[in-house]
């Protein structure tokens, strides 16, 4: 009986994430891209900068490994030469789901961003797939098929409806490669 309880207890232990050095970080990206999957309309920003905090340890999977507390996008434009501002709402979470060969696979959660431009006011919410590679120190945000994570246009102002280019309920994909400073070493096990 005791052996059965001992085995159950051992198997119930959650594996640990280790992040070195953890703590405050900054991140920079070149071009970032938001694509509407319904019609391939794209919003392109020439650069993006972010900052936040990473835990030094967490347990289980998925696990929150850190946060994106500030993110800014520069020189954003869409079709027809329209320019846009992209504004972060609240803090976003960085989550790890699996780890192999120095690469953490997970997602950025709690995303809420307002898109504002001439004739356009919309909000995007949800989760964006991503990976972090220990070798390059890069957080790469890019959609993964059937991951269960997606970004959705959650609202569009009827009076500023973005010329019908995006509609409430549209699924959008986000792509951008962020160099993390200081570079982090993540492990799981």
Return the pLDDT at 79.
87
State the pairing for strand pair 120-133/103-117.
antiparallel
Has residue 7 got a pLDDT over 70?
Answer: no
Task: Decide if pLDDT at 1 tops 70.
Answer: no
Q: Is the pLDDT of residue 146 over 80?
A: yes
Averaged pLDDT for residues 54-80: 95
3-state secondary structure string across the chain: CHHHHHHHHHHHCCCEEEEECCEEEEEEECCEEEEECCCCCEEEEEEEEEEEEECCEEECCCEEEEEEEEEEEEEEECHHHCEEEEEECCCEEEEEEEEECCEEEEEEEEEEEEEEECCEEEEEEEEEEEEEECCCCEEEECCCCCCCCCEEEEEEEEEEEHHHCCCCCCEEEEEEEEEEECCCEEEEC
The mean per-residue pLDDT over the stretch 3-28 comes to 73
What is residue 13's predicted lDDT score, i.e. its pLDDT? 65
Q: Are 101 and 75 in contact (CB under 8 A)?
A: no
Domain boundaries, the chain: 26-184
Name, in order, each residue with C-beta under 8 angstroms of 129's C-beta and a sequence gap of 6 or more.
Answer: 106, 107, 141, 142, 143, 144, 147, 149
For the chain, give the mean pLDDT. 92
Higher-confidence residue: 9 or 102?
A: 102
User: Considering the domain 26-184, what is its CATH architecture?
Assistant: Beta Barrel (2.40)
First to last CA, the chain: 28
pLDDT cut 70: percent of the chain above it: 93
Kindly report the backbone phi and psi dihedral angles of residue 4, in degrees, each rounded to the nearest multiple of 5, phi listed first.
-60, -45
pLDDT of residue 144: 92
**Each residue's pLDDT tens digit, 96-125:** 999 999 999 999 999 999 999 999 999 999
Binned at pLDDT 50, 70 and 90, residue 11 comes out as: very low
Mean of the pLDDT values across residues 24-41? 97
Give φ, ψ of 154 to 5 degrees. Answer: -90, -20
The pLDDT score that the predictor gives to residue 149 is: 97
């Amino acid at each position: 009986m005791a052996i059965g309880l001992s085995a159950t207890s051992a198997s119930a232990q959650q594996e640990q994430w280790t992040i070195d050095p953890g703590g405050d970080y900054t991140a920079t990206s070149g071009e970032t891209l938001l694509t509407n999957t319904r019609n391939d309309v794209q919003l392109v920003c020439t650069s993006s900068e972010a900052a936040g905090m990473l835990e030094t340890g967490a347990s289980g999977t998925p696990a929150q490994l850190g946060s994106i507390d500030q993110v800014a996008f520069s020189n954003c434009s869409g079709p027809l030469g329209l320019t846009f501002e992209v504004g972060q709402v609240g803090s976003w979470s960085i989550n790890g789901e699996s780890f192999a060969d120095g690469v953490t696979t997970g997602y950025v959660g709690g995303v809420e961003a307002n898109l504002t431009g001439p004739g356009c006011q919309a909000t995007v919410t949800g989760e964006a797939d991503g990976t972090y590679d220990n070798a390059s120190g890069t957080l790469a945000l890019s959609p993964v098929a059937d991951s269960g994570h997606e970004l959705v246009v959650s609202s569009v102002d009827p009076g500023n409806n973005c010329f019908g280019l995006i509609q409430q309920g549209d699924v959008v994909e986000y792509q951008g490669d962020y160099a993390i400073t200081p570079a982090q070493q993540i492990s799981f096990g």
